[in-house]
C-alpha cells in the first residue's frame, strides 16, 4: 500500500510540475494583450516582459544544480514551489511594469529549478521499470499546461484586468504540488545503514535484486566536484558528452524554428480565418499530447535509445521534405511590419516560445524563436517550446498571441488590420497558393515532425539525463547540460532569420535534415540503453565502459 501511495504521489508531482511549467510559458501570450493597454507598454517593454522568464530560468540553470545536490531534490522542489507562489502573488498584485518584470523573473527561476529537480527526484523515487513512464509524465504535463493556458486566455480575454486572474490561477497547481511532495519520503526504502549512509538518502534501492547487488558492493559514499564532469574518473567525460550531445542535437535539428512556420503552412493549405487557425493550432497541440502519451507508454518497453533514433529519423525526413517542397512551392517570407503591432519589435534575447506576439519587422511573420524558452531549463522545455510555437505561430498573421482573442478585443482588431496590410499582397494571391498538393505534403510533414519530436527528443533527452550521472553530482550535471540547452536555443532563435537571408529557407531546412542524420549516428554510437536498469546498474555500466 505504501509503495502504491509513493507511486501515485510521484506521478502527481511529475504531472503537476510539467503542468505549471507549460502554463507559465503559455499564459503570457493572452495576458500581454491586456497588459499592453493597461500599462501602455512599448514594444521594447513587452519584449523585456516576455524575456524575463528566460532570464530567471537561465539564472536557475546556473545556480539550481548546487541547490539540488547540496540540499536534496525534495527540498529543492519545495523551495521552488514557495518561490513560484511568491512570483504568482507579485504578478497578481502588480501595479507597475517593474514589478511585473520582477514577478516573471521569479516565476522563471522557480519553474526552471522545479523542472530539473522533478525529473531527478521522480527518477530516483520509482522502480526501474516505471521510471520512463513517470519521468515522461512531466513532458505530458507541459503540453497539457500550454493547452490549458490558451483556454484560460480565451476565458479571461473580456474580463477587466483578466491578466491578474491568469497569473493568479498558477497558485492552485503549485499549492497542490507542494502538498503532494510533503507526503513523499526523502527515501522510500531504508533497509540498512548502507542505504542512508552511502546514499545520503538520495537513491532508494528499488527491488530485492538491486538491494542484494548493493550489499555486495563495498560501501563508498562518492563525492564529486564540478570539474569531475570533464575528467576520466568513472568515465564522467563520456557521460558529459552524451548529455551535451543530446541537448544540443535536440536544438540543432531545428525544433525551435520549424513550428514558427506553422501559420504560413496553415494559410497556404486554406486555413484562412481566425477560427480555422485556432482549430489547426489546437489540432497540432492535440497531436503533441497524443504523441507524448505514446512516448510514455513505450519508454519502458521499446527503450530510450530506440525512441530517440526512431524520432530522429522521422524528424530528419520531415524537415528534408519541407525543405524540398518549399523549393518547388516557395513560402512567402515577409519581414516588414508595423513596430507597434507586436511586442517583439527587435530580434533580441527574448524571442522565445512565449512570444507568440511577434513584431513582424524583425522577425518573419511567424515567431521563429519559439524555441528559445524550452530549453527552458528543463525537460519540458523542448516540448514546451514546440507546442507554444505551434500556438504562437498560428496567430502570427494576426500579430496577436491567441487568435481567438482577436475576435474578442477591438483594440487588437486595429493592429491586426495593420499587420495584415503590411504583409503585402492578399493571401489568395500568394505564389504558394497554387501548389495545393505540395502544401498538404508540407503540412503532413510538419505534423510528423511534431509527433516525432514528442516521442523522441522531447521526453527522452531529459529522462536519459536524469539517469546517467552518479547521485552525488546529478543535480549539477543536469543543470550544466540544461544551461547549454538554453544557450543553443537562444543562438538558433536569434540567428535563424540571418541564416535564411544568407542561404534561403529551403536550404535551411535541408541543413536541419543533415543535422538530424548526424544525431542518429551520434545516438547509435554513444547513447547506451538504460531501460529496466536500476540507477546503480546504469552507473556501473558507465564506470566500466571506455
Q: What is the pLDDT of residues 324-343, one digit of tens each?
A: 988 887 765 544 333 333 33
Look up the CATH number of the domain holding residue 57. Answer: 1.20.1250.20
Q: Are residues 4 and 102 in the same domain?
A: yes
Q: In this structure, is the dihedral angle defined by the CA atoms of residues 333, 335, 338 and 343, taken in order, positive or negative? A: positive
Is residue 317 located within the same domain as residue 456?
Answer: yes
pTM of the model: 0.71
The pLDDT, as a whole number, for residue 154 is 79
Residue 527: phi and psi, rounded to 5, are -95, 115
Instruction: Tell whether 275 is covered by a domain.
Output: yes
Question: Using CA atoms, how far apart are residues 80 and 109, in angstroms rounded to an integer?
Answer: 8
> Which residues of the chain are modeled with pLDDT < 50?
188-205, 214-220, 334-429, 432
Which DSSP letter does residue 169 get? T
**Residue 162 maps to a domain:** yes
What is the Cα–Cα distance from 410 to 394, expressed in whole angstroms? 19
Verify that 29 and 130 share a domain, yes or no: yes
Do 173 and 276 share a domain, yes or no? no
- Predicted local distance difference test score (pLDDT) of residue 287: 87
Residue 349 lies in a domain: no
Domain edge (last residue) among 157, 185, 213: 185
For the chain, what is the domain count?
2
Q: Are 525 and 545 in contact (CB under 8 A)?
A: no
The answer to whether residues 377 and 360 touch, using CB atoms and an 8 Å cutoff, is no
Range of the domain at 512: 229-331+432-545
Whether 32 and 173 share a structural domain: yes
Per the domain annotation, does 362 fall within a domain? no
Same domain, 177 and 249: no
The pLDDT value recorded for residue 428 is 45
Q: Are residues 5 and 78 in the same domain?
A: yes
* Nearest by Cα to 455 from 353, 304, 234: 304
Domain for residue 277, yes or no? yes
Considering the domain architecture, whether residues 150 and 258 belong to the same structural domain is answered as no
Alpha helices (H) along 336-473? 380-395, 403-408, 410-422, 436-455, 457-468
287 part of a folded domain: yes
End-to-end alpha carbon distance in the chain: 42
> Looking at the domain assignment, is residue 3 inside a domain?
yes
* pLDDT attached to residue 332: 55
> Are 166 and 66 found together in one domain?
yes
Residue where a domain terminates, one of 185, 210, 241: 185
pLDDT, residue 277, reads 58
Kindly state whether residues 243 and 179 are assigned to the same domain: no
> Is residue 191 situated within a structural domain?
no
Statement to judge: residues 27 and 88 lie in one domain: yes
The answer to whether residues 136 and 285 belong to one domain is no
pLDDT digits (tens, 9 = 90+) for 460-483: 998 999 889 988 888 899 999 988
- Last residue in a domain, options 150, 185, 220: 185
What sign for the dihedral angle of Cα 389, 390, 396, 401?
negative
- Secondary structure (3-state) at 334: coil
Amino acid at each position: 500500500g505504501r509503495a502504491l501511495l509513493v507511486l501515485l504521489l510521484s506521478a502527481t508531482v511529475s504531472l503537476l510540475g510539467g503542468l505549471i511549467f507549460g502554463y507559465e510559458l503559455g499564459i503570457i501570450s493572452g495576458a500581454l494583450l491586456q497588459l499592453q493597454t493597461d500599462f501602455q507598454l512599448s514594444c521594447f517593454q513587452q519584449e523585456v516582459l516576455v524575456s524575463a522568464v528566460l532570464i530567471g530560468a537561465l539564472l536557475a540553470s546556473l545556480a539550481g544544480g548546487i541547490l539540488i545536490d547540496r540540499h536534496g531534490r525534495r527540498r529543492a522542489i519545495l523551495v521552488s514551489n514557495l518561490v513560484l507562489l511568491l512570483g504568482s502573488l507579485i504578478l497578481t498584485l502588480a501595479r507597475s511594469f517593474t514589478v511585473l518584470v520582477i514577478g516573471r523573473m521569479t516565476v522563471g527561476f522557480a519553474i526552471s529549478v522545479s523542472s530539473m529537480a522533478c525529473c531527478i527526484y521522480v527518477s530516483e523515487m520509482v522502480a526501474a521499470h516505471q521510471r520512463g513512464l513517470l519521468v515522461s509524465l512531466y513532458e505530458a504535463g507541459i503540453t497539457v499546461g500550454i493547452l490549458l493556458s490558451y483556454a484560460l486566455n480565451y476565458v479571461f480575454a473580456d474580463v477587466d484586468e483578466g491578466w491578474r486572474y491568469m497569473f493568479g490561477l498558477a497558485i492552485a497547481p503549485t499549492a497542490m504540488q507542494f502538498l503532494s511532495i510533503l507526503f513523499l519520503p526523502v527515501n522510500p526504502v531504508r533497509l540498512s545503514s548502507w542505504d542512508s549512509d552511502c546514499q545520503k538518502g538520495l537513491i532508494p534501492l528499488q527491488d530485492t535484486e538491486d538491494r542484494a547487488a548493493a550489499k555486495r558492493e563495498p560501501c563508498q559514499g562518492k563525492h564529486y566536484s564540478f570539474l569531475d564532469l570533464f575528467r576520466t574518473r568513472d568515465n564522467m567525460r563520456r557521460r558529459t558528452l552524451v548529455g551535451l550531445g543530446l541537448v544540443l542535437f535536440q536544438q540543432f535539428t531545428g525544433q525551435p524554428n520549424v513550428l514558427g512556420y506553422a501559420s504560413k503552412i496553415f494559410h497556404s493549405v486554406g486555413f484562412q480565418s481566425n477560427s480555422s487557425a485556432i482549430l489547426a493550432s489546437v489540432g497540432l497541440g492535440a497531436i503533441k499530447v497524443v504523441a507524448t502519451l505514446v512516448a510514455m507508454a513505450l519508454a519502458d518497453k521499446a527503450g530510450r535509445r530506440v525512441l530517440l533514433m526512431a524520432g530522429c529519423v522521422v524528424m530528419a525526413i520531415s524537415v528534408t521534405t519541407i525543405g524540398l517542397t518549399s523549393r518547388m512551392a516557395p513560402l512567402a517570407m515577409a519581414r516588414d511590419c508595423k513596430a507597434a503591432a507586436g511586442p517583439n519589435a527587435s530580434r533580441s534575447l527574448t524571442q522565445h516560445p512565449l512570444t507568440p506576439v511577434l513584431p513582424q519587422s524583425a522577425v518573419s511573420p511567424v515567431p521563429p524563436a519559439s524555441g528559445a524558452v524550452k530549453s527552458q531549463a528543463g525537460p519540458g522545455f523542448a516540448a514546451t517550446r514546440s507546442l507554444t510555437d505551434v500556438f504562437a505561430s498560428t496567430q502570427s498573421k494576426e500579430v496577436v498571441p491567441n487568435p481567438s482573442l482577436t475576435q474578442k478585443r477591438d483594440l487588437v482588431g486595429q493592429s491586426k488590420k495593420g499587420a495584415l496590410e503590411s504583409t503585402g499582397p492578399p493571401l489568395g494571391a500568394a505564389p504558394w497558393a497554387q501548389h495545393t498538393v505540395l502544401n498538404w505534403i508540407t503540412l503532413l510533414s510538419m505534423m510528423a515532425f511534431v509527433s516525432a519530436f514528442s516521442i523522441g527528443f522531447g521526453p527522452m533527452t531529459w529522462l536519459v539525463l536524469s539517469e546517467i550521472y552518479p547521485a552525488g553530482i546529478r543535480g549539477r550535471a543536469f543543470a550544466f547540460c540544461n544551461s547549454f540547452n538554453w544557450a543553443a536555443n537562444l543562438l538558433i532563435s536569434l540567428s535563424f532569420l540571418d541564416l535564411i537571408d544568407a542561404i534561403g529557407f529551403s536550404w535551411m531546412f535541408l541543413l536541419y535534415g543533415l543535422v538530424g542524420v548526424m544525431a542518429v549516428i551520434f545516438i547509435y554510437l554513444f547513447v547506451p540503453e538504460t531501460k529496466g536498469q536500476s540507477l546503480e546498474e546504469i552507473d556501473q555500466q558507465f564506470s566500466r565502459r571506455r
